Amino acid sequence: MSLYVCDSYEKLPAILKKEGVSGTRAMVVGDTNTLSLYGEDVANVLASVFTSVHRYAFPAGEEHKNLTSIEELYRALLVASFDRHDVIFALGGGVVGDMAGFAAATYMRGIRYVQLPTTLLAQVDSSIGGKTGVDFEGYKNMVGAFHMPAFIYTVPGTLATLDRVQFSSGMGEVIKSALLGSEDFFEWLLGNIYEIDEREPEVIMEMVRRTASIKERIVKEDPTEKGIRAVLNLGHTLGHAIEKFLEFRLPHGHCVALGCVAAAKISEGRGLLSTEELFEIRDVLVAFDLPILVDGLDKEAVVALTKADKKMQGGQIRFVLLKKIGKAFVAKDVTDAELFDALKFICAEDILVEG
């Protein structure tokens, strides 16, 4: 799996040739937002490589990330006479990448696809690693497959169109990556808060490269999550439970940020992190418009939701904690009492009562 960070889509034909990806037909799959913004540019570039270039748009939004939407894409592929030698291009954020990747994994038992991530969340996290899937019966990514893209082609310039909420959601995954994999990168983020907030192109390019390289390194070592790759779930066990409890009203990266604070609190309670480090993590999240407190959680319901998480193993939660900033590990002995204490630490109502 190769990852390219470029300043435009113009180099895509050269990368396709370098990676040995060709075919008669290409399908650019996006949502109604990304296809209107970038679909024509990408299709025009691909026209120099493929005999025919098709476009397909899902309705935008997590609520459309389901098997019914996948069936519609299958029909579009059939109508366009796609076979195993043709290529899907996933143009969009995490939802598009997951859905297009899942369709590629399952159509004719698997065809090639290329990730063209357009959001920060997708560029630094969801496009990397070959996880594909859809939500099912309210459970996030419950149905899916591992299917590696032929390569990932990222254009950070697309981030200029993101609103502040979407951008900060992506920063949740950026900071998570630094916390689990690189203390130096965590310090670099601290030193570039203003430049990142202003989305200075060179700084954003560097941030995307460094974040993506952390995940790429771990995925190459453990492509199907049998071991070390599990540390990439830092902030996700409680984060996913919070996301589901709030019925996806809070962006994914915001829920991950809350999950990271909770994980840091458990780590501090075990004497792994100092209290100073715990509050430094909170301060960095605040600096990038990420929440460290949340209203309206039913702690018992959230803990119950963690029991249905895909990361359960033998009836026990695999929970990612921090040995220190930049070094994560998987714990299989996190107790419900620790989960309740961590949730209390991020529940605004509890903080107000104590205050």
Q: How confident is the model at residue 129, as a pLDDT? A: 86
* 168: pLDDT strictly greater than 80: yes
Spell out the residues 6+ positions from residue 52 whose beta carbon is closer than 8 angstroms to its own. 24, 25, 26, 80
Q: How confident is the model at residue 348, as a pLDDT? A: 81
225 is catalytic: yes
Percent of the chain, pLDDT > 70? 96
Q: How confident is the model at residue 310, as a pLDDT? A: 56
Measured distance CA(52)–CA(218) in Å, rounded: 36
Question: pLDDT (tens digit, 9 = 90+) per residue, 106-124?
Answer: 999 999 999 999 999 999 9
* Statement to judge: residues 100 and 179 lie in one domain: no
pTM tops 0.85, yes or no: yes
Pick from 108, 143, 160: which residue ends a domain?
A: 160
Average pLDDT over residues 177-198: 96
Measured distance CA(239)–CA(242) in Å, rounded: 5
Catalytic residue among 131, 140, 244, 282: 131
Average pLDDT over residues 295-321: 82
Q: How confident is the model at residue 231, as a pLDDT? A: 94
E strand spans, the chain: 2-5, 25-31, 52-58, 87-92, 112-117, 131-136, 139-146, 151-154, 312-313, 316-317, 319-324, 327-331
* Statement to judge: residues 86 and 169 lie in one domain: no
33 is catalytic: no
Structural domains of the chain, count? 2
10 is catalytic: no
Q: How confident is the model at residue 313, as a pLDDT? A: 59
Q: How confident is the model at residue 351, as a pLDDT? A: 62
Catalytic residue among 112, 210, 236, 299: 236
Catalytic residue among 54, 147, 210, 229: 229
Catalytic residue among 25, 112, 141, 173: 173
210 is catalytic: no
Q: How confident is the model at residue 352, as a pLDDT? A: 53
* 308: pLDDT strictly greater than 80: no
Catalytic residue among 147, 233, 243, 244: 233
Q: Domain limits at 57?
A: 2-160
Average pLDDT, the chain: 92
112 is catalytic: no
Average pLDDT over residues 162-179: 95
Q: How confident is the model at residue 312, as a pLDDT? A: 58
Catalytic residue among 112, 215, 254, 265: 215
270 is catalytic: no
* Statement to judge: residues 183 and 309 lie in one domain: yes
318 is catalytic: no
* Statement to judge: residues 198 and 295 lie in one domain: yes
